[in-house]
Structure 1
Amino acid sequence: MTTGAITADSRDFTDDWQRWYRAHEARLADPHGFLAITGLHWLDDRPRRFPDAPGSWRSGRDGVVVLLDEGEELVVGGKPVRGEHRFGVLAERGGVDAVWGDAVIEVAKRGGHDIVRPRHPDAPLRTAFAGTPAYSPDPRWAVTGRYVPFGEPRPTTVGAAVEGLEHVYDAPGRIEFELHGRALSLTAFPGHGAGRLMVLFTDATSGVTTYAANRVLTVEPPAADGTVVLDFNRAANLPCAYTDLATCPLPPAENRLPVAIEAGLRIPRERGGS
């Protein structure tokens, strides 16, 4: 890397990255964020109680049902509920947050299975969180690419951090780019927000300095000519990088890059990173 005077543009680039990093860490360490999860409970038609949530839980054809004992209460959609409450059939990757005191009980569907995932602010993983190691931001890792839409979205099945679980995404296209003189491409999935894309990937740093299973990159909507920017400085960790109580998707096989992306977030301290 060449050295020299710090320019206004490089200061702006670093300041923008710092704002992104702080926002990422704040979401992660939110009182009810992923570091606050205390259990990942898989539901079936057998009513069961869990130590970190009230009531007896089951799921079936009609969706998730909880039966609260006398004196137990949840707040769902701002309204207190007692006795039996039916959450109904949940959409894949959808869910409902039920408030229980200072905790939130996440009721969700992942990989076709209904789950209950309590989040408690005093969870040890959250209270001990000291931030995620990261590479220093470098404009060289903000790469211009071209988005190539498929004729129609391609259903793409990927594995998950939980063994035996699968996720299915409708991939709308791929992103072609060049790095270190090599022509590369990444299959893109729909992102959060209109027109945004999400890219799951691994690279030659995975399992060495970055989390082994995956990293994720959000890509802003392509320009009219298909131009996009892959800013690998913002390659983020998914929740499974911090906790085994996450069901994160793994990258499709074609998104395992044969180059080292020495940018973005590194292996969390919770997984032995430094």
Structure 2
Amino acid sequence: MIPLAFLVLALPSHQDAQYAESLLKWRKEVEESLKNEGGWLSVAGLDWLKEGENDVRLPSGLGPESAGTVTFRNGNARLKVAAGVAAEVDGKPVTEVDLKPDIGGKPTKVKMGDATLTLIKRGKRTGIRLYNPRSRGRRDFRGLTWFEPNLAYRVRARSRPGLVFFNFKDTSNGKATYLAGRFLDTEKPKDGFVILDFNKAYNPPCAFTSYATCPLAPEANSLKIAIPAGEKNYHLD
């Protein structure tokens, strides 16, 4: 992770109706991505694989309890579906399938009953992630909350080449905003500068499910001020 090291410069700060409209559209897209069947609100399980054979078990009411096995060897995973269990990949029935992970391309998505399974790789670990479209998080979702747009938090910053993502902390964390910090995407730097729009700061997946893996902000990205812009803390209850 590259530290958030920048020099804030002045940016023309006239209120722009087109900007406000585009920001609202972006925020709605963030919410829709959470709510869909493959969104973070649907993530309901994560089992890390050990070398060799691993049982695949689904929660009661979601699909068959004993759904099959995943054989994991030398970084490769192959699913063998249990006898009598219906499984599909891309709408086609399967009994055995090699699982492609979620890095470097499109992951294999295996549907069993109402559950969907995918393979994830995080560092040296490989795991099976479970999606449940009837999860409590998705069922009880009441929407995201945001700070009012403020152009004072849309700044031009000096950046290192190639920086397009920051994770940062500020003194609002654990109160108005998520405890572990927030994420911020940018466009590619141009002439050594980027636009940091903290109105688009958003919560990491770990704010919505305990089955996500989220990088922590480096010490250099721990800001000693509050950033009352972007997404607020999320509370399910």
| Alignment TM-score > 0.5, same fold | yes
Contact 2:44 2:209 in 1 (8 A): no
Which of 169, 188, 192 is 1:226 aligned to?
Answer: 192
Question: In structure 2, do the counterparts of structure 1 residues 62 and 14 end up closer, same or farther at CA, with 3 Å as the change threshold?
Answer: closer
- Cα RMSD for the two superposed structures: 2.2
What letter is aligned with 1:64? A
Q: 1:75 Cα deviation (Å)? A: 2.4
How do residues 1-274 of structure 1 correspond to structure 2 at under 5 angstroms?
A: 9-44=15-50, 45-52=52-59, 54-61=67-74, 63-82=76-95, 84-87=96-99, 90=101, 95-149=107-161, 172=162, 188=163, 197-223=164-190, 225-270=191-236
**TM-fit CA distance, 1:242:** 1.3
Whole-Å separation in 2 of the counterparts to 1:203 and 1:118: 32
| 2:138 aligned partner, one-letter code | R
Q: Report % sequence identity.
A: 31
Q: Secondary structure at the match of 1:48?
A: strand
C-alpha separation in 2, matches of 1:93 and 1:125: 29
Aligned equivalents of 1:259, 1:9: Cα separation in 2: 24
In 1, Cα distance between equivalents of 2:104 and 2:182: 19
The alignment partner of 2:177 has SS state of coil
Deviation readout 1:79-135 (Å, 9 max, x if unpaired): 4211x33326x4758643223344321211112211111112111110100111211
Tell me if structure 2 keeps the 8 A contact 1:96–1:108.
Answer: no
Tell me which amino acid in the other structure corresponds to 1:242. Answer: F
Q: 2:53·2:69 contact (CA, 8 Å) conserved in 1?
A: no
> Alpha-carbon deviation of 1:78?
4.8
Q: Secondary structure at the match of 2:160?
A: strand
After TM superposition, give the deviation of residue 71 of structure 1 in Å. 2.1
Q: CA deviation at 1:200?
A: 0.6
- TM-score computed with the length of structure 2 as normaliser: 0.83
What is the CA–CA distance in structure 2 between the aligned matches of 1:34 and 1:141, rounded to whole Å? Answer: 27
Q: Distance in 2 between matches of 1:120 and 1:91?
A: 18
Once the two structures are superposed, residues 124-173 of structure 1 have per-residue CA deviations (whole angstroms, 9 ceiling, x without a partner) of 11010011121111111101112223xxxxxxxxxxxxxxxxxxxxxx5x
Structure 1 residue 39 displacement after superposition: 0.9
Q: Distance between the aligned counterparts of 2:113 and 2:222, measured in 1?
A: 43
TM-score w.r.t. length of structure 1: 0.72
Q: 1:13 to 1:91 in 2, by over 3 A?
A: closer
Gapped regions of structure 1 (runs ≥ 5): 1-7, 150-171, 173-187, 189-196
Pair 93,40 (structure 1): closer, same or farther in 2 beyond 3 Å: farther
- For residues 51 and 97 of structure 1, the distance between their equivalents in structure 2, rounded to whole angstroms, comes to 15
What amino acid does structure 2 have at the position aligned with 1:230? L
Q: Which amino acid aligns with 1:106?
A: T
> What is the alpha-carbon distance in structure 2 between the residues aligned to residue 138 and residue 12 of structure 1?
14
Q: Deviations over 1:170-202 (max 9, x none)?
A: xx5xxxxxxxxxxxxxxx4xxxxxxxx111111
Higher RCO (C-alpha 8 Å, min separation 6): 2
Q: Residue type matched to 2:55 in 1? A: R
